[in-house]
């Protein structure tokens, strides 16, 4: 079905586009350029090739849970690196070399995870179950949605980040919390974290498997039936980011006031 291809793009490709929009708006506006995107694509393709050629060995790590644990580590690492990078930028400083390399590596690994899932499903399921015309049409629609939405998001950030700082950074903190909880979700999938007790269920409004569910999960970490552990990790991650930004804002404004005082 055509919708399967479109949903696959929304689930696996759109998160990469959205991550680049957030990084460009809150970390470094120079991160998303032709040179970096080319490097990112080359590194991601290289890692994808390594993953596919060593898939059996990687899957065998930790009693068959190697891929999920690796994905969890990447998501948690990305959360802390993005938080640290954005805090440094808020103090009007540029990224140092170690943090810049860590940022590029974590973004590359995030892209690799999603592109690996995309190609795995695209070549093993979508192409085998759909006609070529349906696959091409779905690809055009899916890629168009990714490009259109990320363009609108970038324009939104361009007009609000400096004008509505607190609202923008709260949105950014929600996105970071969603990144962290995606790492927890991987651990729940292999049974390392309890998934039995859910706090509520809003699937009758927005289902996790719907287009809006995938989009909201990417943007703010939405799940229709969160577990107690999911809610706890999300809340801790969210308030850790917000409190950190409040402290950084306070320090940055204090330094600015001192500088203005020295000029007078």
Q: What is the pLDDT of residues 114-157, one digit of tens each?
A: 888 888 888 776 666 667 777 788 889 999 999 999 999 999 98
Q: Which residue reads 């192409």 in tokens?
A: 127
State the average pLDDT over residues 1-9: 81
258 is a domain residue = no
- Cα dihedral 45, 48, 54, 57, rounded to 10, equals 150
Q: How many domains does the chain have?
A: 1
Q: pLDDT tens across 75-104, in order?
A: 999 999 999 988 888 776 677 778 888 888
Residue 57, exposed/middle/buried by CB under 10 A (0-12, 13-18, 19+)?
Answer: exposed
Question: Could you count the other beta carbons within 10 Å of the beta carbon of residue 63?
Answer: 7
Domain span at residue 203 reads 2-252
Residue 260 has pLDDT above 50, yes or no: no
155 is a domain residue = yes
State the average pLDDT over residues 26-41: 84
259 is a domain residue = no
pLDDT tier at 41, thresholds 50, 70, 90:
confident
| pLDDT attached to residue 256 | 59
202 is a domain residue = yes
pLDDT tier at 263, thresholds 50, 70, 90:
very low
Rounded CA separation 129/42 (Å): 29
Rounded CA separation 259/32 (Å): 32
Rounded CA separation 158/175 (Å): 17
Helix (H, G, I), strand (E, B) or coil at 252: helix
37 is a domain residue = yes
State the average pLDDT over residues 248-263: 65
Rounded CA separation 208/12 (Å): 14
Q: Which pTM does this prediction carry?
A: 0.88
Q: pLDDT tens across 50-71, in order?
A: 777 776 676 666 666 777 888 8
261 is a domain residue = no
Q: How far is CA 106 from the centre of its chain?
A: 10
81 is a domain residue = yes
264 is a domain residue = no
| pLDDT attached to residue 132 | 73
């Amino acid at each position: 079905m055509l919708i399967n291809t479109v949903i696959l793009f929304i689930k696996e490709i759109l998160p990469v586009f959205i991550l680049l929009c957030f990084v460009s708006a809150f970390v470094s506006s120079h991160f998303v350029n032709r040179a970096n995107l080319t490097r990112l694509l080359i590194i991601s393709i290289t890692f994808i090739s390594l993953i596919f050629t060593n898939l059996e060995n990687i899957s065998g790590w930790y009693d068959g849970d190697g891929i999920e644990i690796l994905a969890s580590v990447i998501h948690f690492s990305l959360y802390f690196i993005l938080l640290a990078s954005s805090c440094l930028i808020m103090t009007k400083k540029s990224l140092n070399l170690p943090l810049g390399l860590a940022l590029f590596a974590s973004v590359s690994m995030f892209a690799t995870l999603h592109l690996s899932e995309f190609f795995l499903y695209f070549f093993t399921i979508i192409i085998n179950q759909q006609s070529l015309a349906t696959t091409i049409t779905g690809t055009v629609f899916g890629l168009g949605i990714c490009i259109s939405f990320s363009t609108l998001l970038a324009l939104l950030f361009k007009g609000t980040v400096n004008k509505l700082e607190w609202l923008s950074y709260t949105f950014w903190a929600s996105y970071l919390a969603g990144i962290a909880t995606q790492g927890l979700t991987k651990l729940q999938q292999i049974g390392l974290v309890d998934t039995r007790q859910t706090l509520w269920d809003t699937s009758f409004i927005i289902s996790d498997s719907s287009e809006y569910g995938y989009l909201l999960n990417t943007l703010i970490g939405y799940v229709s039936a969160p577990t107690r552990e999911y809610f706890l990790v999300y809340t801790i991650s969210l308030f850790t980011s917000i409190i950190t930004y409040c402290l950084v804002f306070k320090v940055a404004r204090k330094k600015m006031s001192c500088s203005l005082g020295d000029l007078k």
